[in-house]
Chain A
């Protein structure tokens, strides 16, 4: 018999509907899986047993009354930078240790209202700053495929729980690749929606003009289901998109016949590991075989994206994180004056990567440097959007690898911050442009670790993006599971 923790959301939904099992059964399975995997992974920061059980009981009642909504009774996990009323929310930082929010973020509220069962809060790089989940103040998360390696980041905890089955789906946030890169490294599907499609209200801000909440799931249809539950205009987020939500899951079965697919020349070159390039090429070949018209084209400004990103994101974060000052909530380190208290609190409460980015951003915004750094980066962003627009004049979607490599060993990139930043080279450009992108697992590398394939689309192009992603998924027939998720290996 299949362990319920290994079901997709679609399968779980069918079983709930036909009464094969209950939401409580699903929750029990996820929690059992967490009990065996967590000692190895440290993917959860908080497991909300009581809240989850209440939600599952309520879901079972609702299902008994005929509720067939897609997420009712489904156990999901949330990245710990998503604010949850009554459940500790730390953003992976010491400065928020013990903070219990008095409110729910909009995405969280919509998930609760959709009947989802929130299992717990997942680990992340502190304030979502990082690409490996090693920057968490509460210790790193490990990759369930190989616990010597990182799960990627910053949504490494959310990716790991989905890969291992301690939640059937999860949400992360993506500022420069923080959903797609960990999805790639853990063999899961991760999508960053169009900027503004999902409300940021209640997402602890890293870089406001880049941050987006998005789903991580085992399959493309599951990711679509999760995204549909949270997408849509929110009056509490002035930057949320006020218009029709794309038909995210409408064309999942439509295939790619007649679609034009562009391979981004700048993202299939040096700096990408050969087995990743190989899997990428194989995927592209399958898309062509499936009837897509594949061309290679250039998005020249992508070469400048990483540098522009590492000025824009720190600049915004330096301001966004100013509120953590020891006055109203969170950590306080005593000082003789308020000024001293604030400076000591921030020195002790923030980890080195966060401090580094705050300093970088403060510098980039300061008088005399603003135009050379921040202003210039925002103009580069315009160039990048123009280049993307020109590319989308020719093709429906763009494709590339998601990550230049498979999962790397813990500690291997922590010494030089810039080396770590290079993990995001394939993903960053779409954040700067505001466009959606998704990572789909397409195979294993020489190290038997997953490789992800990225599909990018123009703003609000989620329908075509998911359509291509579904074809990629069918073509890859990627059925391997993480080592830790296969019960015979797990020793309780």
Chain B
């Protein structure tokens, strides 16, 4: 049985994308993901992400011009529901898991940002 070097296969560097240095603004990424991390944690995650993305280089080098992206495994379209009211949770049930509730509302601290 022929053995193909699966993991040790040389990366076929043909494209230019793969030469793109991976330089992650990890603090910005953590901000976008809304996760509070210390500087040490950020540095550790940045190193791990860079390592993972290094392995992804082979994917970026693959020529895919004119190839349509797949977003759904099966080629299906148009799943709808009829415009019918099927009911809601009771308010107590809706609020049962709330970390903080007040007068039937979910309560959160003051909001800094404006959307």
**Min CB distance, B68 to chain A, in Å?**
6
- Do A346 and B36 contact each other (CB < 8 Å), given the known contacts A271-B6, A378-B70, A379-B64? yes
* Complex alpha-carbon distance, A265 and B6, angstroms: 10
Closest to B89 in A: A102
* Complex alpha-carbon distance, A296 and B94, angstroms: 55
Interface of B is mostly: loop
Q: Is the CB of B70 within 8 A of A376?
A: no
Most A CB within 10 A of own CB, among B35, B51, B60, B98: B35
Query: Could you tell me how many residues of chain B have their Cβ less than 8 Å away from some Cβ of chain A?
Result: 60
* Complex alpha-carbon distance, A227 and B99, angstroms: 37
Q: Is the CB of A337 within 8 A of B69?
A: no
Total A-B residue contacts, Cβ distance less than 8 Å: 206
- Do A102 and B96 contact each other (CB < 8 Å), given the known contacts A372-B20, A385-B70? yes
A16-35 contacts to B (CB < 8 Å): none
Q: Is the CB of A383 within 8 A of B99?
A: no
Closest to A421 in B: B52
Q: Is the CB of B36 within 8 A of A459?
A: no
Interface of A is mostly: helix
Q: Is the CB of B70 within 8 A of A326?
A: no
B85 adjacent to chain A (CB < 8 Å): no
- Do A239 and B79 contact each other (CB < 8 Å), given the known contacts A343-B35, A366-B29? yes
A110 adjacent to chain B (CB < 8 Å): no
Contact with A along B54-82 (1 / 0, CB 8 A): 01101110101001111111101001010
Residues in chain A near residue B51, CB distance under 8 A: 416-418
A238-293 contacts to B (CB < 8 Å): 238-242, 263, 265-271, 277, 281
Q: Is the CB of B59 within 8 A of A311?
A: yes
Q: Is the CB of A303 within 8 A of B49?
A: no
Query: Could you tell me how many residues of chain A have their Cβ less than 8 Å away from some Cβ of chain B?
Result: 86
B17 adjacent to chain A (CB < 8 Å): yes
**Min CB distance, A86 to chain B, in Å?**
11
Q: Is the CB of B34 within 8 A of A380?
A: no
A377 adjacent to chain B (CB < 8 Å): yes
- Do A381 and B112 contact each other (CB < 8 Å), given the known contacts A270-B4, A281-B1, A359-B29? no
Question: Looking at the complex, which one of B49, B56, B68, B99 makes contact with A330 (CB distance below 8 Å)?
Answer: B99
**Min CB distance, B19 to chain A, in Å?**
11
* Complex alpha-carbon distance, A265 and B45, angstroms: 35
Closest to B31 in A: A343
B104 adjacent to chain A (CB < 8 Å): no
